[in-house]
């Protein structure tokens, strides 16, 4: 990527913001943790479970500061950014624990401050540390992160790459209506608002079709076309890529000129403020991915997830920086890529899920020329909605997961009512993961089961027991403690 994502004025403002943050950290040590994820990965659930387990003494054996007894107190405090909506932790926990429904997904940015009072493991650190760390959790949609590479693209580049991608695989069918409309207009014709709206609407419909569960594609910029919010109908969201010869001169007042101007407005109005005011101030980052959903949809969805991860990781500047450089150019020094919903599989397949995610990340790192320092991969379940068991079938023991499928979920002809627990054999992930990364799997691989045949359904959150005092026990999870140790452990040493 080019060395600078923004103009000099943007970098200057970022530097001033970071200087302000660093000055505040001298009095009150703070770490800004970004939490994002690609579609349906469970960002809201991750944050809610993380906070609930820390506040309620959850089982976190691999989170060393808590396990060793050095954490004295964990509390919520008012967040420092008054202009950013608060992450509604209490509402989300109520939905999970009391109503046993999954909270609404992330639609905009939000923030929550968690404060940990602790005793350092080092006597030297105890002399100079306040023994208090504020964790500002910044929750934002993954679609916004996928917009950041647009800052390095002009309209011609954006159009060429988007049109080329739309002409591959299943996207050809999904993009047919938009492409037919785009090919039928003259980019040099006078700008027309009705034409622009029709193109933008058809392009947005194409992106939504790619995101739908039955396709589960991940590379879908511009992200605000999927969640427009208060920008719905604005010129900044009323544009579309166009197929044209990039070397042709732009005709003033033409449709192409209008689209080019609105693409630049999108970057100025939507992407740059997010980068400058939020992303550039992060210290650490977790990226949640629903790798299981992509695996279940087949190699094309897996490869599209890999492409999206390459774009995501290209946005980060991992690695340590000098003290002086950190004052003006904050770096995200740790990135965790976590495959969620590990509880949908028996633990015998967790290693394969993690290996597939590692392969996705390693290939993405190679494609963008990063060394990979400070990047870790994990398979986890922020909320464990199932337990494991074995059932006997045809004389063989079959590993299953047991939980309450959500109302309307189906396996074959069986439709669940959202009330009854059931045992589900989810299938096994293959030890040979190479066929998942082939553009066209061999017929023999399909026949011999090299591609997984999974039964992946959605389960309701678990029913939690209560203590004698009527207090709900902490939310069960898988490897949330390992995620905490990687992201925060060194700052609580």
Per-residue pLDDT of the chain (493 residues; tens, 9 = 90+): 443 444 555 555 555 555 555 555 555 799 999 999 987 899 999 999 999 999 998 999 999 999 999 999 999 999 999 999 999 999 999 999 999 999 988 788 999 999 999 998 776 565 556 689 999 999 999 889 889 999 989 999 999 999 999 999 999 999 999 999 999 999 999 999 999 999 999 999 999 999 998 888 999 999 999 989 888 999 999 999 999 887 888 999 999 999 999 999 999 999 999 998 999 899 999 999 999 999 988 889 999 999 999 888 888 754 444 333 343 455 788 999 999 999 999 999 999 999 999 999 987 777 666 655 588 999 999 999 999 999 988 888 899 999 999 999 988 888 999 999 999 999 889 888 888 888 766 555 554 556 778 888 999 999 987 665 555 678 999 999 999 999 999 999 8
Please give the C-alpha separations between residue 204 and each of 121, 187, 226, 491, in angstroms, as whole numbers: 53, 19, 7, 42
pLDDT of residue 13: 56
Q: Which among 378, 350, 369, 351 is positioned nearest to 289, based on CA atoms?
A: 378
Q: Does 232 share its domain with 315?
A: no
Q: Does 111 share its domain with 58?
A: yes
Q: Is residue 306 part of a domain?
A: yes
Residue 174, CB half-sphere, CA atoms under 13 Å: how many? 22
Domain boundary among 202, 235, 269: 269
Count of the separate structural domains present in the chain: 3
Domain boundary among 269, 297, 326: 269
Q: Does 443 share its domain with 363?
A: no
Q: Does 262 share its domain with 406?
A: no
How buried is 441 (Cβ within 10 angstroms: 0-12 exposed, 13-18 middle, 19+ buried)? middle
Stated pTM of the model: 0.88
Please give the C-alpha separations between residue 191 and each of 160, 217, 258, in angstroms, as whole numbers: 20, 32, 6
Q: Does 161 share its domain with 109?
A: no
pLDDT of residue 324: 36
Structure tokens at 341: 């919903």
Quote the domain boundaries for residue 400.
387-447
Q: Going by C-beta distance under 8 Å and a sequence separation of 6 or more, which residues neighbour residue 284?
A: 31, 32, 33, 34, 332, 333, 334, 335, 336, 487, 488
pLDDT of residue 271: 94
Q: Does 298 share its domain with 424?
A: no
Look up the CATH number of the domain holding residue 30.
Answer: 3.40.50.300
Q: Is residue 488 part of a domain?
A: yes
Q: Does 197 share its domain with 106?
A: no
- Name the maximum alpha-carbon separation found in the chain: 76
pLDDT of residue 467: 61
Q: Does 30 share its domain with 78?
A: yes
Q: Does 110 share its domain with 186?
A: no
Q: Going by C-beta distance under 8 Å and a sequence separation of 6 or more, which residues neighbour residue 191?
A: 253, 254, 255, 257, 258
Q: Does 70 share its domain with 210?
A: no
pLDDT of residue 247: 80
pLDDT of residue 182: 97
Q: Does 353 share its domain with 394?
A: no
């Amino acid at each position: 990527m080019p060395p600078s994502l923004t103009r000099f004025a943007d970098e200057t403002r970022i530097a001033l913001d970071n200087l302000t943050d660093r000055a505040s950290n001298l009095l009150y040590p703070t770490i800004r943790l970004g939490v994002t994820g690609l579609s349906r990965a469970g960002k809201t659930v991750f944050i809610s479970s993380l906070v609930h387990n820390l506040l309620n003494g959850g089982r976190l054996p691999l989170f060393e500061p808590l396990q060793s007894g050095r954490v004295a107190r964990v509390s919520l405090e008012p967040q420092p950014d008054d202009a950013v909506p608060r992450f509604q932790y209490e509402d989300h926990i109520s939905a999970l624990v009391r109503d046993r429904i999954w909270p609404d997904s992330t639609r905009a940015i939000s923030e929550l401050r968690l404060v940990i009072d602790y005793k350092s493991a080092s006597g030297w650190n105890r002399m100079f540390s306040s023994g208090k760390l504020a964790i500002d959790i910044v929750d934002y949609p993954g679609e916004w992160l996928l917009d950041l590479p647009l800052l390095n693209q002009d309209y011609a580049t954006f159009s060429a790459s988007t049109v080329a991608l739309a002409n591959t695989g299943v996207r050809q069918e999904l993009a047919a209506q938009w492409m037919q409309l785009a090919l039928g207009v003259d980019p040099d014709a006078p700008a027309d608002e009705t034409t622009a709206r029709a193109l933008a609407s058809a392009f947005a419909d194409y992106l939504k079709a790619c995101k739908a569960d039955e396709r589960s594609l991940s590379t879908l910029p511009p992200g605000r076309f999927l969640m427009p919010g208060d920008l719905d109908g604005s010129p900044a969201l009323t544009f579309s890529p166009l197929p044209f010869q990039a070397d042709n001169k732009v005709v003033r007042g033409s449709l192409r000129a209008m689209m080019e101007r609105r693409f630049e407005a999108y970057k100025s109005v939507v992407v740059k403020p997010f980068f400058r005011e939020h992303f550039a101030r992060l210290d650490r980052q977790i990226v949640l991915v629903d790798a299981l959903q992509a695996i279940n949809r087949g190699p094309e969805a897996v490869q599209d997830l890999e492409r999206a991860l390459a774009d995501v990781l290209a946005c980060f500047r991992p690695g340590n920086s000098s003290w002086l450089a950190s004052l003006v150019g904050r770096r995200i020094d740790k990135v965790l890529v976590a495959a969620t919903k590990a509880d949908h599989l028996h633990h015998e397949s967790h290693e394969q899920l993690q290996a597939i995610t590692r392969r996705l990340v390693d290939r993405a790192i190679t494609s963008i020329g990063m060394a990979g320092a400070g990047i870790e991969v994990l398979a986890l379940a922020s909320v464990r909605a199932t337990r494991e068991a074995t059932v006997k079938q045809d004389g063989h023991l079959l590993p299953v997961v047991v939980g309450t499928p959500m109302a309307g979920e189906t396996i074959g002809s069986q439709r669940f009512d959202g009330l009854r627990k059931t045992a589900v054999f989810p299938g096994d992930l293959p030890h040979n993961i190479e066929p998942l990364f082939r553009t066209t799997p061999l017929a023999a691989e399909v026949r011999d089961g090299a591609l997984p045949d999974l039964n992946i359904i959605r389960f309701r959150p678990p029913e939690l027991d209560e203590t004698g005092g009527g207090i709900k026990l902490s939310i069960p999870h898988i490897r949330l403690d390992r995620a905490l140790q990687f992201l925060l452990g060194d700052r609580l040493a």
